[in-house]
A and B are shown apart, each in its own frame.
Chain A
Amino acid sequence: MQINGAQAVLKALEHEGVDTVFGMPGGAILPVYDPLIDSKIRHILVRHEQGAGHMASGYAHATGKPGVAIVTSGPAATNMVTALLDAMMDSIPMVCITGQVALPAIGTDAFQEADTTGITMSATKHNYLVTDVNDIPQIIHDAFHLATTGRPGPVLVDIPKDLVLPDSMMEWYEPDGHDLPGYNPVTEGDPVAIVEAAKMVMEAERPVIYSGGGILRSRAAAELLALAEMTQIPVVTTLMNRGGFPDDHELNLGMPGMHGNYTAVMAMQQADLLIALGARFDDRVTGARDEFAPDAKVIHVDIDPAELGKVRFAHVPIAGDAKSIIAEMVKEVDKLGGAAAQPDRDAWRQTLSGWQEKYPLVYGDHEPGKLLKPQFVIEKLRDASPDDTIVCSGVGQHQMWASQYWTFNHPYTWINSGGLGTMGYSVPAAIGAQVGQPDRTVWAVDGDGCFQMTSQELITAAVERIPVKIAILNNSWLGMVRQWQELFYDERFSETSFGSEIPNYKMWAEAMGCVGFRVDSPEEVEPTIQKANEITDRPVVIDFRTQAEENVYPMVPAGASNSDLLVDPSQRGE
């Protein structure tokens, strides 16, 4: 069948099972948008290309399927860079198609020309510049394979305009396998190492399972639960694995790291064995590396062999897919006698529950005449929303509070920008998640700083009738920076105040076709959330006026040892 390059692009996407793409047309990609009219693929027209990228990411998080974005050349491609690197850092499967100037024009500084493959080389798992129309089916097939297998990540395909023009004919074919001689991701774990790991589990007196985002990417939540329940070993869930192990499970210690809770941080710090599953010893988790978990031996399971030993020496490194490796570990532990054959860990359990009792997450009561406590807002939001609500966040204080105070009992209910820390992530990510899970409630917990970066995508949501809900924890400051300035820069607040009257978020939301609310007092919080949860035909924005002086605790100051964790001032002894 003879078709042109543009038709081949869409046919190739359909062939990969793509039902939704996020994008915006422009000069170089224009020919691809013509056959889109006749395609079954739903296209969400964004207002800024970065939004398309984060929507694709949110969609991928919420569905497990690769997110797809299509944008034009030059500035559209450069607008996409942040979203690509964000997906790269958090291992999100994404395929991005960019238009490029025609092949003969490449290198001439043509209008809207950018060296897209050069620019995105370090922001993608791999990228392609297509140079022959006949390669389109194979390259797109390979791009999806790369994005979704091994350690997932974003893959970009840059297509020059002359390859997709109406007369760019080619004979359609379905690719027979992949043309990737250098790509052989490890999936099966080394059985000898798995036995070794099981033995270490059986000997440990103070073990902790350190579960990271790899659990979600590998869809291994059930296996993790089985391992934890069989061994009764407590689990910490990193920022990237909130929901990967139920928060209401007694073995869940919660989030470790810079703003982790006391028990999760100290459990890792004093453990004699860390069972790292799909986690990468990120600096936000370890604090000062040399002082991190000084007595712990390490079992490290990761699909990316380069993570093993990158930051922390692993006594038992196992490269491969967490899902099958954890299942094998369960079997091996069982062979060695199961839970009953493990050492008595009562003392360890008591230490942990003692910490939990002494250092719970706390915040002060509402002070009359003052603005709302942000933690209170999140608790009310959590309690008034369905158990399987998908929560998205941007980056900053609101992100940490959302992670701390929400109860995540299901995998794929927490979507945030962990590695890159991209402010403005939540609104577009929430839209992508809602498109992927139209029957679920999706709340974006956002900060006012983040909201101002990408909120124009609410126009997209309103026009497309995507009923996302946005809770702005509006303290009128760049709150996390403010917190650092308060604690480490002698309260010299340099360029962090936004002023509290501009913008008017309610009016802004309404102007974008959303329902807007403003909430100042604690009594209004719950009824307004109820009202928002009842709206299902358009986006809702609630401007919660929160107290700027509120800081996120606990906190490990940057560069400090996790042992020097600062708890809430009310919990500090003399």
Chain B
Amino acid sequence: MTNLQCEFHTIVVLVENKAGVLARIAGLFSRRGFNIESLAVAPTDDDTFSRITIVVDVSSTSLDQVVKQLDKLVNVLEIDALDPATSVERELLMATLSAPTPEARREIIDLVQIFDAQVLNVGFDQLMVSLAGSQRRLDDFEALLHRYGIIEIQRTGKIALNELAKVESSD
């Protein structure tokens, strides 16, 4: 199960939507010495359950242990350790940028168009932009934004689902 080439793994956990469940998961990670890289949580279409997407750094531990320990939590129903090669991932980034001159503003808007991002809000010397996409794409966008002076930036951590089958299953 453990993929030694990759230190970050995405685990999708279906949990009962009850008070304290997130604390149980966060507590488990801290006391077992597992490192969380990012974490996103929201109710599913059935609001008695929530889905938590955790990106875990398994360089210091085995993915197998993380999954088995998570499975011991009474409120955890399902755990899916996603293979990066066969999953679809999305993350959202929002950033407020310094744009004091018309040139800066134009350059930023060019970048927004190239990346299929959005301008969310405009101030007299600032712009707020957002981009949803793969982690890699967000990293690239963020790197390019740096020269304009990032006032604030917030990323959600990624969410992911398994890729859909392309042919009908034989069984």
Contact = CB atoms under 8 A, between A and B. Distances in A.
A142 B16 CA distance: 15
Interface in B72-95: 72-77
Given A305-B68, A306-B69, A310-B65, A117 B77 contact: no
Contact of B74 (A183, A305, A308, A310): A183
Contacts of B65: 306, 309-310
16 contacts: A117-B20, A118-B20, A118-B23, A121-B23, A121-B24, A125-B74, A180-B74, A181-B16, A181-B77, A182-B16, A182-B77, A183-B74, A305-B68, A306-B72, A309-B64, A310-B68
Interface in B34-68: 62, 64-65, 68
Nearest to A146: B74
A182 B64 CA distance: 18
A182 B20 CA distance: 15
A139 B133 CA distance: 43
Interface string A171-184: 00000000011110
B73 to A, nearest CB: 7
Interface in A118-164: 118, 121-122, 125-126, 129, 131, 146
A129 B20 contact: yes
Given A121-B23, A182-B15, A306 B74 contact: no
A116 to B, nearest CB: 12
A49 interface: no
B71 interface: yes
A338 B94 CA distance: 69
A305 B27 contact: no
B19 A129 contact: yes
A183 B72 CA distance: 8
A121 B20 CA distance: 10
A304 B72 contact: yes
Contact of A182 (B27, B62, B74): B74
B166 interface: no
Given A181-B77, A182-B15, A182-B77, A306 B23 contact: no
Interface string A295-323: 00000000011101110000000000000
A182 B72 CA distance: 9
B74 A121 contact: no
Closest 10 CB pairs of A and B: A306-B68, A182-B77, A126-B74, A182-B76, A183-B74, A306-B69, A305-B68, A121-B27, A122-B31, A182-B75
Nearest to A151: B72
A126 B75 CA distance: 9
Contacts of B68: 305-306, 308, 310
A340 B73 CA distance: 45
A432 B152 CA distance: 60
Contacts of A183: 74
Contacts of A310: 65, 68
Contacts of A182: 15-16, 73-77
Nearest to A122: B31
Contacts of A306: 65, 68-69, 71-72
A146 B65 CA distance: 21
Contacts of A131: 19
What bracket does the count of chain A residues touching chain B fall in?
10 to 19
Interface centre among B16, B19, B24, B74 (most CB of A within 10 A): B74
A571 to B, nearest CB: 40
Interface in A379-421: none
A125 B19 CA distance: 17
Nearest to A179: B16
A305 B19 contact: no
B20 A122 contact: no
Contacts of A121: 20, 23-24, 27
Contacts of B71: 305-306
Interface in A100-124: 117-118, 121-122
A309 B23 CA distance: 26
Contacts of A125: 74
A197 B77 CA distance: 30
A305 B105 CA distance: 57
B27 A122 contact: yes
Nearest to B79: A182
Nearest to B69: A306
Interface in A176-200: 180-183
A304 B27 CA distance: 19
Interface in A254-306: 304-306
A87 to B, nearest CB: 16
A214 B58 CA distance: 29
Given A181-B77, A304-B72, 4 more contacts: A122-B28, A129-B20, A182-B73, A306-B72
Q: In the complex, which of the residues A131, A181, A305 has the most CB atoms of chain B within 10 Å of its own CB atom?
A: A181
B94 to A, nearest CB: 31
Nearest to B78: A182
B82 to A, nearest CB: 19
Nearest to A127: B20
A305 B24 CA distance: 19
A25 to B, nearest CB: 27
Contacts of A180: 74
B113 to A, nearest CB: 46
Nearest to A183: B74
A305 B65 CA distance: 9
Contacts of A304: 72
B149 to A, nearest CB: 41
B1 to A, nearest CB: 10
Interface string B1-24: 000000000000001100110011
Q: Which of A125, A146, A304, A306 has the most CB of B within 10 A?
A: A306
A239 to B, nearest CB: 23
Contacts of A126: 74
Contacts of B20: 117-118, 121, 129
Interface string B136-149: 00000000000000
Contacts of A308: 68
A217 to B, nearest CB: 16
A504 B18 CA distance: 53
A306 B65 CA distance: 6
A308 B64 CA distance: 10
B19 to A, nearest CB: 7
A126 B73 CA distance: 8
A306 B62 CA distance: 11
A181 B73 CA distance: 11
A327 B20 CA distance: 40
Contacts of A118: 20, 23
